[in-house]
C-alpha cells in the first residue's frame, strides 16, 4: 500500500497554508522511501550528510535538523510575536532568545535534545512539525507587513484548539541563517539546503503553503 496524500489550503476567511497529510488515517504504513541526493554544492569533510534520505523514519529527520542546525520555531513564540505586532526575525536574531511561556522562560528555537526525544516519541500527541512554503514579498524580508505571520498564527491556534499538541514551525527566514553569514553559518546553510526536501516531503511533517500576498 502506497499512502496517498492531499493538499489542504488555508487563508483568512477560507484556507491558505497547506497540508500534506495522509488521505486516510487507517491506510497501512508505507514502506520507507529512499531518495538519492545529488547536489552541486560541495560538502566539506566535516559535513556529515546522509547519502540517502529516509522519508519515513523520524530519526533521520531529527539527524538532518540537528546536523544542519535548522531552527524550528515554537508556535507559542510566533503567537506572542503576532499579538505584539512584531515581524518575523532572522535566524541569527533568534539564537539564544527566550520568551515567557506558562510562567517560565523558554527558548524560541527547539533544542537538539528535544529533537532527539521527539524522534523516539511515538505518542499521537507528540509535537508536530509544520514546514511553511511561501513567497518573499520583498528582497529584504519575506513578510514585511506581517500578513504571513498572521496566517501562521491563525492556523496554528486553530490546530492547537483541535489537537492540543505542541507545534514547531520551519520558516526559512527564521530557521536558516540569512545573508550575510559567517563561515560557520554558511556551512550550516549549505548542509540544510542539500536535503531541504526532507522538511516538505517527510512523513513526520506537515507542509503549509501560503498562496496569497498581502492584500
Cis before residue 82, ω within 30 degrees of 0? no
Cα 76 to Cα 166: distance, rounded to the nearest angstrom:
8
User: Using 50, 70 and 90 to split pLDDT, how confident is the model at 7?
Assistant: very low
**What percent of the chain is predicted at pLDDT more than 70?**
75
pLDDT for 75 beyond 80:
yes
pLDDT for 47 beyond 90:
no
202 burial level (CB within 10 Å; 0-12, 13-18, 19+): buried
pLDDT for 5 beyond 60:
no
Q: What is the largest CA-CA distance in the chain?
A: 50
Whole-prediction pTM value?
A: 0.80
Residue 166 in contact with residue 78, Cβ under 8 Å?
A: no
Average pLDDT (65-76) is 97
Where is average pLDDT lowest: 11-25, 44-58, 142-156, 159-173? 11-25
pLDDT for 12 beyond 60:
no
Is the pLDDT higher at 125 or at 72? Answer: 72
- Tell me, what's the pLDDT at 33? 43
pLDDT for 41 beyond 90:
no
- Tell me, what's the pLDDT at 102? 85
The three cell numbers locating residue 154: 491563525
Residue 202's closest CA among 119, 117, 120?
119
- Tell me, what's the pLDDT at 8? 44
**What percent of the chain is predicted at pLDDT more than 90?**
72
b/e for 49-72, b at 16 or more Cβ within 10 A? beeebbbbebebbbbbbebbbbbb
Amino acid at each position: 500500500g502506497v499512502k496517498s496524500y492531499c493538499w489542504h489550503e488555508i487563508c483568512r476567511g477560507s484556507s491558505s497554508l497547506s497540508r500534506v497529510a495522509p488521505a486516510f488515517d487507517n491506510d497501512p504504513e508505507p514502506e520507507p522511501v529512499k531518495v538519492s541526493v545529488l547536489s552541486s554544492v560541495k560538502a566539506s569533510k566535516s559535513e556529515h550528510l546522509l547519502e540517502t534520505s529516509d522519508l519515513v523514519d523520524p530519526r533521520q529527520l531529527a539527524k538532518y535538523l540537528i546536523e544542519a542546525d535548522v531552527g524550528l520555531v515554537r508556535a507559542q513564540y510566533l503567537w506572542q510575536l503576532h499579538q505584539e505586532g512584531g515581524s518575523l526575525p532572522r535566524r541569527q536574531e533568534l539564537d539564544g532568545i527566550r520568551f515567557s511561556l506558562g510562567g517560565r522562560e523558554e527558548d524560541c528555537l527547539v533544542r537538539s535534545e528535544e529533537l532527539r526525544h521527539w524522534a523516539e516519541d511515538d505518542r499521537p500527541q507528540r509535537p508536530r512539525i509544520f514546514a511553511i512554503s511561501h513567497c518573499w514579498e520583498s528582497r529584504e524580508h519575506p513578510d514585511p507587513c506581517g500578513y504571513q505571520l498572521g496566517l501562521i498564527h491563525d492556523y496554528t491556534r486553530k490546530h492547537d484548539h483541535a489537537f492540543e499538541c505542541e507545534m514547531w514551525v520551519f520558516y526559512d527566514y527564521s530557521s536558516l541563517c540569512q545573508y550575510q553569514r559567517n563561515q560557520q553559518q554558511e556551512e550550516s546553510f549549505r548542509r540544510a539546503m542539500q536535503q531541504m526536501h526532507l522538511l516538505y516531503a517527510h512523513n513526520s511533517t506537515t507542509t503549509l503553503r501560503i498562496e496569497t500576498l498581502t492584500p
